[in-house]
Structure 1
């Protein structure tokens, strides 16, 4: 079970990617505020895209602050996390279509893409929370998107914040459990 050991080691050293998840909470909070402002919907969507530019530098800063080694150069799977995150960008044409053709659905599409992209991290960090929350986030956001009036679209990014906080709690508990085992084994 060498691969399981490698994944668990990566999970502990990088703290299950909590630095990136905390950054996502900040960004989705900014998006929530943007969608509460009295701006045109197209402006909100464009500012939403601009807010995502904070993701990487904020993630690196928060990871350093919480002492999470997200690079893991000594782990053969270290670069895979970056590739999994970049894979999310492949779905951005769907988001761009939403911004152009269905501006009121763009926030829903972005939140679904974000939620769904967590699924492979279940394998990467050997953490079942990612497997569970990826479809839960996607379905909850879709249901909100189907039934929300355009005047209260801010509820979708707010729901993302709440769901991300719940995911953080779950992966933190997983990290704590693994870190105790990791320390006991003297790895």
Structure 2
């Protein structure tokens, strides 16, 4: 297979990672619940980090429900997708630094990192949705994070992730329709 075919195969079998985006809706709902509490900000930040931990198991469960192949060892580009995800862990060091330094802005930084880390998937999946939202999410996160309460930022992320999921589902239908024709 050439590179174009490998990318198309990856996008089809992984359904453009929609299971991870849907899982992130769940994660952001949990973050919203934490942000709505009266706990001290450092406790909220710690719990926010904890809320991100179950992303992989939730995505795995959603992949089973949606019948998405979670892992495909036959396509080497899937390893690249994993590398794109692991790359986000390095950026989380920035959020860890923000945690005690500017605790009120940690959630904003996490949202910005989350959005920005999606950019390489626009190439992997040939996805305009990933391209546009990987730029919009950090910018909106910065604006909302600087001007509104953290729970507003969490609500914004939930709404964006739902829109993201819907747009990816349209892209996935287009792949199937293009494949059938």
**TM, length-normalised to structure 1:** 0.93
Match of 1:11 in 2: 11
2:177 to 166, 173, 180: 180
1:155 to 152, 169, 177: 152
Which structure 2 residue ranges, 5 or more long, are not aligned? Answer: none
3-state SS of paired residue (1:79): helix
Match of 1:124 in 2: 124
Please provide the CA RMSD for this pair: 1.2
Match of 1:82 in 2: 82
Deviation at 1:169, TM superposition (A): 1.3
1:167 to 149, 164, 169: 164
Any idea what the Cα deviations from partners look like across 1:47-105, whole Å, max 9, x if unmatched?
00011111111111111110111312121212111111000011111101111100000
Structure 1's consecutive aligned runs of 4 or more residues displaced over 6 angstroms after TM superposition are none
Contact 1:71 1:79 in 2 (8 A): no
Deviation at 1:167, TM superposition (A): 1.2
Which structure 1 residue ranges, 5 or more long, are not aligned? Answer: none
Deviation at 1:170, TM superposition (A): 1.3
Deviation at 1:2, TM superposition (A): 2.6
Report matched runs for 1:128-143 at 5 Å: 128-143=128-143
3-state SS of paired residue (2:77): coil
| C-alpha distance in 2 between matches for 1:2 and 1:158 | 41
Match of 2:23 in 1: 23
Deviation at 1:40, TM superposition (A): 0.7
